[in-house]
């Protein structure tokens, strides 16, 4: 979503304060069938915003490794379940941040550029897959 597939692969330098543009083109659609299905359009997010999301995901990743260690060391099941709940909560928070970013940046930009219908359809499709 909005180039977040790249976030796991790279860290964004904190000192760099430029806008980061992500184009979802035909090539990316082939490699990522869950991405946008219509014509190419830019998604622009600040380096600061992307860095915050990457940092949260890194903390979640570490937390999941901690849960794995707990299981390997036969920690009590209630303790493991509590930690899993914490990870779920953290992932939900990241999802809310990504959604807020998409609404305030991408949807607003699409409205200004006159292609709001395409963005809303893509958001609805993403939410259908995201929500239980």
pLDDT digit string (tens) for 21-53?
443 433 333 344 444 444 345 667 788 889 999
Q: How many Cα atoms occupy the beta-carbon half-sphere of 78 within 13 Å? A: 0
* Report field, pTM of the whole predicted structure over 0.95: no
Rg for the chain (alpha carbons), in Å? Answer: 17
Q: Rounded to an integer, what is the distance from CA 87 to the centroid of its chain?
A: 15
On whether the CB atoms of residues 7 and 57 are closer than 8 A, the answer is yes
Please give the structure tokens belonging to residue 90.
């953290």
Phi-psi region of 114 (alpha: psi -120 to 50; beta: other; left: phi over 0): left
Tens-digit pLDDT profile for the chain (132 aa)?
A: 444 444 433 444 333 333 444 434 333 333 444 444 443 456 677 888 899 999 999 999 999 999 999 999 999 999 999 999 999 999 999 999 999 998 888 888 888 888 899 889 999 999 999 888
């Amino acid at each position: 979503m909005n180039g977040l597939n790249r976030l796991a692969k790279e860290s964004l330098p904190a000192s760099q304060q430029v806008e980061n543009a992500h184009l979802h083109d035909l090539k990316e659609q082939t490699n990522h069938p869950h991405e946008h299905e219509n014509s190419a359009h830019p998604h622009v997010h600040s380096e600061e915003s992307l860095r915050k999301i990457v940092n949260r995901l890194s903390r979640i990743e570490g937390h999941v490794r901690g849960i794995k260690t707990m299981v390997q060391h036969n920690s009590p099941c209630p303790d493991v379940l509590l930690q899993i709940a914490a990870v779920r909560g953290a992932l939900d928070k990241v999802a809310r941040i990504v959604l807020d970013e998409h609404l305030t940046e991408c949807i607003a930009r699409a409205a200004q550029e006159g292609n709001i219908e395409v963005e809303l359809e893509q958001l609805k499709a993403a939410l259908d897959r995201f929500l239980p």
